[in-house]
Structure 1
Amino acid sequence: MKNKAVVLGANYYIGLSIIRCLAIHNIPVVAIDYSKKGTYGFHSKYLSEKLIGPDCKKDPQGLLSFLVDYGKKQEKPPVLLPTADGYAEFIDRYLHTLRKYYLINQTEQGLFTKVINKETLHSLAREHNILVPETIYVDEEDFEIKVKENIKFPCLVKPTNSPEFVSHFRKKLFKVYNMEELKDAIRRSKDANLEVIVQRIIPGFDDHMYTFDAYLNQDSKVSHWMTCQKLRQFPINYGASVYTIQKHVPELYKIGGKFLEDIGFKGFAEIEFKKDADTGKFYMIEINARTTNLNSLLYKAGINMPYLAYSELTGQLPEAYAIEKDTNIAFWYAYEDFLAIKDYRKSNQLKLGEILKTFNRPKAYAIWDIKDPKPAFAFLGNKTKRAFNKFFGQ
């Protein structure tokens, strides 16, 4: 009997992509979410079990008890895979307890949280001589003078904990153009009990955003990797990827691979970089310590990251491999890309011709899979229902 894979979160396409990546290898996959509502990953034909458990944010102790009880009933310890920062932080918080019943890549408690949190990540990056955007903390002495002289306007007000900020404000950050707007953004964040930092904007359009996606084995050595380039994101300029291409950038391996190895990271990680349009230097923006939006692209390009984790934790890691050429494959989240295109056009940031020529590529779809179509239909049904209720005021 094979070890099961337990996927935490199925209400977004990241969880769906993990389910598919594992099930094609005949691995029994269990999806756990806190609600059936809108959880279109539950409709995948590849699922062996779908379970409703406590919310990791509202009732972490409840979820811990739920997972411990489930783990105790299994003949072999399942592999535990998070799909969002909240789940990664939950695993990090209860790592020692969870490792008694589950197989988990990371062995150092606190490291997931350290790289997810912007403040501690930047401290780590500076220790290892990695460029990060110039940052000022809101309680620093001479704060206003430092902002005017070192950061300059416009600038960004960013959370140290992104999931909580996005949950509250429905956006990843505030872009402010003067001191009055800056103070207002800080006040709003404090009122919500959210810590924020102020950062310089690294010059460059959205296509100056890149990712280094890697798997590190239990010796904290990069075994598999590839790099990608964003072309469009939503919300535009400071959002999540909606159209991204695989693009080989060797320099990112030299920067990102060494950093992850030096800090002792294990398992999958994605480092997001921005290339300074003026200097050509790469600045580290953030790290995702769990499977990301681009998982279907990584798989189609030739690296099945969830399967690597499962294989290593239950037996043997496949031979090292990297995508060291341009495959021309694009990740596409069509629903939000159309919303992004509308905003890019409205703000005159992209011409229609520039947009159309990007579509002439093989696609790795966020949700659609002809072999597993039900999740896409469930997703469309959810959107249609919401639009209907909004239109008729229900």
Structure 2
Amino acid sequence: MKSIIFLLILLICPCLIFGQKKFEVSFSFPDSTATKKLSFFYYDCQLRDFISVPASYHHHKAIISHSYNTVYAQIYVEYGSADLRPGMTIFTTEKPAKVTFSEPINEADPFKNYTLVNAQDPKQEFLAEKEYIKEAQNTYRQIYDSIAPNWKSEDSLDFKKIKEAKMAIDRKRLEYITSHSKSYSSFYLFEKYTIRALPPDLLLQQFTTTFPATFRNSEEGTSIKKYLLNRAIIEEQKKAISFTANDINNNKVIFEEIYNKKHVLLVFWGTWCPPCIAEIPLLRKIRQQYSKEQLEIISVAVGSAPEKVRQFIKEQQMDWMNIVDNDKINQLYQINAYPEVFLIERKGNIIYKYSDYPDPNLGNLQQILAARADTH
């Protein structure tokens, strides 16, 4: 009986057996004063972000440890306290790793002289990738510099030229990744840079055919695939993805139940974002034009303290549904810049996305609303 239960655990909950990997890295310096200026981070593939990890200090040494869910633990280290914060990346495993600096840290070039034990340094591969995409980046800069000084936000043709030139960088990067597919550095670059811009169907194909099974079938690989599948739903199928959350007043919000009954304006913003704040009067105007039976507005505040959001709701008269996000909803909707606005019609069809094209003063959105919300 015990063996059957154990087998069921293996089949149903593999993450319990395989997901609890832990790294430990020690950083040694000839001068202990340098350690206090260092900041340490590790990458969490579920949160899709680098997370700060505290260090313990012993004489001339800083030690960090934490569980991780990527193929290799991705460790990022920053030095300094000003705006300019040089950094270094290393990859390691569950074997205790060491980074030893042979000289006191030079503030101008802090990560110069060091040796590694049980860790990989991807610096040279990153430099090779930068060299490979250099020409595409120069072309983008030339196009941007020729357009930007006189560009008007309503000029969608110029916007398209800039966007296509930027996409060309990612296509070139994908070429490099494909030709170095067995390297974890390429897998890292694929996730960090490429998956946000190029068409998700292309990226899913490349993901399936390019990388070895050890990468694809990992928790990290599963997270990447899920991200791309969600992108395909939003960008290609133009469908909303439902979520369940509590609003600022602790009322339960089931998104699908709302967009099945009426149009929904889904707005991602932050109290720290000046363009988001500047957009609030436009949203208030839209709220006044349409009844709640025609249109629901749901603002999702990201990276904002609930008390700060409450203050803005009161001051800005945000008379609509407000949610303070813990990064789950914005990740679901692939939000990379703020503000972002979706218009979702009944049955979950996305008929407008702000970042798809320039829309000063939400003029295009208001035209679509006038045509759709009044007649549905």
Question: Normalization by structure 1: what TM-score?
Answer: 0.25
Query: Of the two structures, which has the highest relative contact order with CA contacts closer than 8 Å and spacing of 6 or more?
Result: 1
Flag the structure with higher helix content.
Answer: 2
Q: Which has the higher Rg, Structure 1 or Structure 2?
A: 2
Q: TM-score of the superposition, structure 2-length normalised?
A: 0.25
